[in-house]
Structure 1
Amino acid sequence: MDNFRWIRPNINLKCFIKDGEYNVILHNSGDLVSDFKYYAEQFYAGAENLMAYLLNEASSKGDIAKLDLWYFAIVYLYRQSLELLLKSTLFQYIVNFEDRKIAIGSIRHDLAQGLELLLNSIPEAKESQEHEGVIWLKSFFEDISRVDRESDMFRYPFGNNMKVLFEKQTHISLVATQTNMQTAFYILKDINKKGCSFIGNHIVYDPKLIIEGGAYYEQSVVGYKYAERKFYPYFSSYEEAAKHLENEIKQNHNSALFLPMCYLFRNAVELGLKRIILEDSHVPYDEAMKKLKRKKHSLVSLWNSISVEIANYANAPDDDTTLIDTNKYIHEFHNFDQESDIFRYPVNKKLLTYFGDGQTFDMLNVAGCFHELCNFLDAVDGMLSEIKQVELEMMYEYESEMHSEMNYYNDY
């Protein structure tokens, strides 16, 4: 087992050794067709790696925790790969810069709307509307958009309207999930490469995102009532999946896993901060919800909402620099990725290219910094939740004593 990772002084995300064995260069060309396709392949590789682990090692060991919890992170990676590949294909037919901005702004994350726009943009697609691959893909994307139109239901425990995805316990087939994601990716890849006239035959299951059933140790069981609207399943899913990809990079030097690993860690940090604010802090619930909605993806704003309370309850020695060092981590990650998009898209919302000049990273250095911050946030959650539990028990004892005294005086 690796040594426990913890916050260190002087974080530096951009630190790397010349010719280091874990160096990777992020360099986007500015060609949106190729850049979006490249990102799509990275996210797909991440999802496939994680799913292969679940259906082989975790399944054979009966590791229920991983089978259940990793589901959210894996489905997000698959879904993101489809969105990226869809947009890459769309940019083959929409080439004007302003038209591309309008198209991206209108479809946002809606796969069904994006596919409809794509099919209307491909000349030969009109003759291919009855192809079973096109019909299947349209139905599958419509189902995804029905469940997750804004691409947030697998990233957060609830949407802006407080809607939860799974209102009851659901046994989901991981085999069917993987197969349908592979089917969609292969069909879309055929369209991306050859157009609608050359779609292969990949269909196995009905075009549904969530298919129940399957062998017991090939299922993900989600929707526990006690965990409804709780951050733990999502934080754990993203953190543990990211740590697995970190280990894969360490063992196999697989640079294709770097971007998905970074995004999983980045979302875990955001989830960890939001969990502390909503579930552990003494901020009233309604006010905490307003903070979450207002501050969105801003790590610095989320941290500033809770850092004083953490410091007050930590009761650390005067020479302890952990909170000062943590503040540096938060600002480093925030300044690098303020909109939570630099690891999942090759461009920003204005279609301006990220890493256009190329930038070198030490994959394990970046992973380690994320890993350490996630461990800190998890520890803070444990500390504050224990304090709140003690306070509740003290309040209960106080109320019980007051009730007993009132009964005593009432007897007279």
Structure 2
Amino acid sequence: MINSVYIWPSSDMDFWKIENDDTKVTVKWSRDNFLDYKILAYQFYGCGYKIIEEVINDRLNNIKSDMWFLTGIFLIRHSIELGLKSLLCRVLSRKKDIQDTLKKCGHDVSSLLKKYDEVGHENFLNNEEKSWLSEYCDSLEEVDRKSDAFRFPFEDEFLSKYRDGFLDNMQVTNNLLQAFSLVKKCLEMGVITEEEKFDNTLKPEFFILTSRSYGNCYLWQSISDAGFYVKITGYTEAIDFIYQDESIINEDKLYPLIFMFRNTIELYLKILFYSRVEKGVSQKVFRSKRKSHRIKKDLWKNVKSMIANYSGGSDEKLETLELIEKMLDEIDKLDKNGDIFRYPTSYSLEYRFDNKILDLSNIYVYLKAIVNFLEGCNSELDAIADIEQEIRDEHESEIYFDSDWY
């Protein structure tokens, strides 16, 4: 396989191109909402589990402990959300009731569980298990109410509580896996494996902090990069790890991989908003668009001119810029708000991506080319910003000495 570092945008790239029958995947949903949400829950869980397993097995690797771990948390947290939504699709008989519930509860796993308990009348969990899962979901919501703490830079409120703390990776993992196992027990109508049996010694807490730094996740965030480095590194390296993991079949890694790529592209576009170059994104645009998920309309539109301005007028760079715009156009058409590859349907239960044939290896190259280009822009603009700062410092120094002379 080609070294992913050398993948670069080219005019022959096409998201829909089929080049390798061995990595061809057909996306065809059953149109049974319960089954489709359940399948996607298992797919996100499988990829998240593999990432966290790698983190735990390589505890001396700080990048994995501090960065991959956060990506793994999101994938499993999302699998719990998908699993609970699957259960609601099973117990709610009317389509409108499902639509209203999904819209009202959103990403809130605590509300989703309460609704399931309220209307489901299913008793696959005993009282102790029900209580544990309910308290755990409440604890999760206290930390990650919008399901974005592990996708984007930490907010100030999060940092005020947890900055410079250490997560106990093993305990956080055990609790996260037990929460999913309890949801899975409901999905499978009480059928579980020996490994998935409930452990009542675990406390129903999402975040468990420790004083030990070894092998645990350090909750830090650099001021200089506005907190993007941690998330970008976690997602980009986890993407390569999952893509190369042959134990996960292509069908099961397709949606999680495209989601992670889409999220990484958004992160890179947003970090460019924070570029220190003199002719960067205006403060007005920065304040109004920096939290948007619209990669073409709000993000790319406002960084393209900055990149072009610092391209040095090179025809080759400007051609690449136009090529990237076309590639981002395709992503924008597919997934405008970053949710198409996180769910099988919209809140209205509309299947927005179905009956499609994709080549996973081609998609990997296509999306990796975009990521590599944006990474290159970010590095180059950082270097230019340093040069601009040096020139300003020299100029100020000259003014100082001139004024001192008089």
Q: TM-score, normalised by structure 1?
A: 0.89
Name the stretch that deviates more: 222-231 or 96-105: 222-231
Q: Is residue 175 from structure 1 mapped to residue 152 from structure 2 by the alignment?
A: no
1:167 shift after superposition: 4.6
Q: Is residue 262 from structure 1 mapped to residue 261 from structure 2 by the alignment?
A: no
Q: Is residue 15 from structure 1 mapped to residue 13 from structure 2 by the alignment?
A: no
Letter in 2 for 1:33: F
Deviation track 1:247-302 (CA, whole Å, cap 9, x = no partner) reads 225x8654312211111111000000010012345224453131223x43333431
1:223 shift after superposition: 1.7
Cα distance, 1:194–1:167 mapped onto 2, change above 3 Å:
closer
| In structure 1, C-alpha distance between the alignment counterparts of 2:358 and 2:242, rounded to whole Å | 16
1:183 shift after superposition: 0.2
| In structure 1, C-alpha distance between the alignment counterparts of 2:290 and 2:142, rounded to whole Å | 24
Conserved? CA contact 1:238–1:268, under 8 Å? yes
| In structure 2, C-alpha distance between the alignment counterparts of 1:369 and 1:10, rounded to whole Å | 10
Find the residue that maps to 1:117 and give its secondary structure. helix
Query: 2:114 matched to which residue of 1?
Result: 116
Q: Is residue 236 from structure 1 mapped to residue 236 from structure 2 by the alignment?
A: no
Percent identical among aligned pairs is 25
| In structure 2, C-alpha distance between the alignment counterparts of 1:76 and 1:221, rounded to whole Å | 16
1:244 shift after superposition: 1.3
Indicate which of 392, 399, 407 corresponds to 2:404. Answer: 407
Q: Is residue 353 from structure 1 mapped to residue 351 from structure 2 by the alignment?
A: yes
Conserved? CA contact 1:235–1:272, under 8 Å? yes
Query: 1:45 matched to which residue of 2?
Result: 46
1:55 shift after superposition: 1.7
Name the stretch that deviates more: 203-212 or 390-399: 203-212
Deviation track 1:377-396 (CA, whole Å, cap 9, x = no partner) reads 11100111111121122112
| In structure 2, C-alpha distance between the alignment counterparts of 1:367 and 1:396, rounded to whole Å | 43
1:6-155 matched pairs, under 5 angstroms: 6-17=8-19, 20-56=21-57, 58-59=58-59, 62-124=60-122, 131-155=127-151
1:54 shift after superposition: 1.5
Name the stretch that deviates more: 336-345 or 32-41: 336-345
1:193-232 matched pairs, under 5 angstroms: 193-194=188-189, 200-213=197-210, 216-224=213-221, 226=223, 229-232=226-229
Conserved? CA contact 1:23–1:361, under 8 Å? yes
Find the residue that maps to 1:398 and give its secondary structure. helix
| In structure 1, C-alpha distance between the alignment counterparts of 2:104 and 2:249, rounded to whole Å | 38
1:12 shift after superposition: 1.2
Find the residue that maps to 2:3 and give its secondary structure. coil
Conserved? CA contact 1:243–1:371, under 8 Å? no
Find the residue that maps to 2:357 and give its secondary structure. strand
1:71 shift after superposition: 2.1
Letter in 2 for 1:168: R
Q: Is residue 279 from structure 1 mapped to residue 285 from structure 2 by the alignment?
A: no
Cα distance, 1:225–1:277 mapped onto 2, change above 3 Å:
closer
Letter in 1 for 2:387: V
Residues matched between the structures, number: 398
Letter in 1 for 2:302: S
Find the residue that maps to 2:358 and give its secondary structure. strand
Indicate which of 340, 352, 355 corresponds to 1:342. Answer: 340
Query: 1:384 matched to which residue of 2?
Result: 381
1:39 shift after superposition: 0.5
Find the residue that maps to 1:95 and give its secondary structure. coil
Find the residue that maps to 2:310 and give its secondary structure. helix
Find the residue that maps to 1:268 and give its secondary structure. helix
Letter in 2 for 1:67: S
1:200 shift after superposition: 4.4
| In structure 1, C-alpha distance between the alignment counterparts of 2:9 and 2:313, rounded to whole Å | 15
Q: Which runs of 5+ in 1 are unaligned?
A: none
Cα distance, 1:101–1:63 mapped onto 2, change above 3 Å:
same
Query: 2:370 matched to which residue of 1?
Result: 373
Deviation track 1:33-68 (CA, whole Å, cap 9, x = no partner) reads 000000000000010111121222x32xx2212221
Conserved? CA contact 1:278–1:289, under 8 Å? no
Query: 1:326 matched to which residue of 2?
Result: 324
Deviation track 1:172-218 (CA, whole Å, cap 9, x = no partner) reads 1222222111100111111222269x994234421222212387543
Cα distance, 1:366–1:373 mapped onto 2, change above 3 Å:
same
Find the residue that maps to 1:360 and give its secondary structure. strand
Letter in 2 for 1:386: A
Q: TM-score, normalised by structure 2?
A: 0.90
Conserved? CA contact 1:37–1:84, under 8 Å? yes
Find the residue that maps to 2:218 and give its secondary structure. strand
| In structure 2, C-alpha distance between the alignment counterparts of 1:299 and 1:233, rounded to whole Å | 24
Find the residue that maps to 1:49 and give its secondary structure. helix
